[in-house]
Amino acid sequence: MKNIYKFKVAFGDTDAAGIVFYPNFYKWMDQATHDFLGNAIMPFSKLMEEKEVTTPLLEAFCQFKSPLKFEDNVEVHSQVIEIKNKVFKIEHTFQRDGETVASGYEVRAWVSMADGFKAVPIPVDIQAKIKS
């Protein structure tokens, strides 16, 4: 599955030079992942409440190619590129007007909150829903 998360850069996302402050890309990857899972499975809040599952971040990386500025319209194209037993890797590509301005990934665990926080195997039906 592929997902597109869209947003407009807010003034508060920029630094004194007028370009996006780099940690915001990590915030947007997090938001894009939650949007992806919400569209593939169910809203993330319901996944946590009803299924008692969360997906904590294990690793993140982002490479910047071109700066974003205030009021730029951005699309984050996301897809799961790897699934292991209890972990998945989701790739994010940031685009402005069709141009890739950054790309990165997150590695996340599939964690049950039912008996404390414990990584558990990703159910087969969930794997089928999130695979590329």
Instruction: Decide: helix, strand or coil at residue 130.
Output: helix
Span 5-56, pLDDT tens digits = 999 999 999 999 999 999 999 999 999 999 999 999 999 999 999 999 999 9
CATH for 66: 3.10.129.10
User: Which tokens belong to 77?
Assistant: 């194209």
Whole-number Å distance between alpha carbons of 59 and 15: 25
Our count of domains for the chain comes to 1
Q: Is the pTM of this model over 0.85?
A: yes
Q: Residue 75: give the domain boundaries.
A: 2-130
Given a contact cutoff of 8 angstroms between Cβ atoms, the answer to whether 106 and 30 are in contact is: yes
